[in-house]
Amino acid sequence: MKLIFIYGPPGAGKLTVAKELRRATGFKLFDNHVSIECVETVFDFGTEPFSRLVGQIRLDIIEEAARHEVAGVIFTFVYAHPQDAPFVEKICAAVERHGGEVCLVQLTCDKNSLEQRVPAESRARRGKVATLELLREIMDRHDLFSPVPDRESLEIDNTDLAPEEAARRVVEHYDLKRA
């Protein structure tokens, strides 16, 4: 299995690019908000059981996909350095343990563009970061712009790039074939 692990700050275009990648490759798309929405029906966002269960669901789904030789999965994630590095390593180890490959893609975007993109009705409807106040608070508290350590990431500045072009760069860089 190939896991295309797309990470970056809120508003960088992870899901938009992931959808284009799905069109180009036929890979399955696992949006990180699916696990959040599931767990949030029972536990409040940010609580210990919420965080633990969201992480476990993500890990279990990705590992099962690798174990059952799903051709490809695209996963989106807001990576905060350094606290999320152990989780990313667990995901990578789970995929690699079953003979899979992890292709890390860091989507970056300048802060002005993030601030223009975040206050969107579509983001609010999905429970995503959708206010400038929350975006700024998160960016002040967390390093959302560092790459995952000790692994190669394809870095794409998505500030002025069409999603189709970003997806094309991922396909080309990782030599992805249609599933």
Which region among 16-30, 46-60, 83-97, 106-120 has the lowest average model confidence (pLDDT)?
106-120
- Ordered by where they begin, the domains of the chain are 2-173 (3.40.50.300)
Integer Cα distance of 66 and 120 in angstroms? 34
3-state SS, one letter per residue, for 16-76: HHHHHHHHHHCCEEECHHHHHHHHHCCCCCCCHHHHHHHHHHHHHHHHHHHHCCCCEEEEE
Please state, rounded to an integer, the average pLDDT across all residues of the chain.
93
Q: Report in angstroms the alpha-carbon separations of 108 from 21, 88, 90, 111, 132.
A: 17, 18, 23, 9, 17
pLDDT at 129: 76
Q: Maximum Cα–Cα distance for the chain, whole Å?
A: 43
Integer Cα distance of 145 and 78 in angstroms? 10
Residue 130 confidence (pLDDT) above 70: no
Question: How many beta carbons lie within 10 A of that of residue 152, not counting itself?
Answer: 11
Question: How many beta carbons lie within 10 A of that of residue 21, not counting itself?
Answer: 25
Residue 126 confidence (pLDDT) above 70: no
Residue 178 confidence (pLDDT) above 90: no
Integer Cα distance of 121 and 46 in angstroms? 23
Integer Cα distance of 153 and 147 in angstroms? 7
- DSSP structural state of residue 114: H
pLDDT at 100: 98
For residue range 151-175, what is the model confidence (pLDDT) as tens digits? Answer: 999 999 999 999 999 999 999 999 9
Whether the model clears a pTM of 0.85, i.e. scores above it, the answer is yes
